[in-house]
Amino acid sequence: MKEVEAVKNHDTIKLISFLLERHSGRQMRDVWEIGLNLALRISDLLAIRFSDIEDDTLTIRERKTGKLARIKLNSKTRDRIEAIRAEHTDHVYLFQSYRSPGMQHKPPKPLTRRAVTKAFSLIGEEVNIVLGTHSMRKTRGYLLYQQCKDLGRVMRMLRHHSEAVTLRYIGITQQQVDQDFLSLEI
């Protein structure tokens, strides 16, 4: 299995949003766009309940690490979440699976990782990127690093303990680090 990539170009990010909505619907586009803004692992993103959101803050306990994550929601994310909540007033999960009429009496469940992986993979093939559920988290980390060049800040956002992991994670190679040393003369 290939390692998924960060999307490093804003136009490609917008194209992916467009294609996800066209091929898989608004909900999958919302997963992509909100996922980009929250930089959570897919298991945590899909498990978000509306009750986890209070005003402009999302508070969850990460499943993988057990760490408490408190994330301030930017206006784009808040607006999209409120639109989803207004459209689906009976939903428990932010990305709740739409159920067939015969399943109405079963407890609600979020979208599956498998469904998101399939949708993202198909779009990745179309735009020639190894796209997966982790691409959202990697993309946010990469773009933050490009904006601020502060690896510690990116590590805190992703809740990583190692600079090496974060560099590899966001796709910063030794070749790029070497080029930074060559291009900046003091």
As annotated, the active-site residues are 41, 64, 134, 137, 160, 169
Residue owning tokens 């779009």: 123
Phi/psi of residue 22, nearest 5 degrees: -65, -45
Query: In 35-169, which ranges are E strands?
Result: 53-54, 57-61, 68-72
How far apart (Å, rounded) are the C-alpha atoms in residues 110 and 8?
A: 29
Phi/psi of residue 98, nearest 5 degrees: -80, 130
* DSSP 8-class letter at 173: -
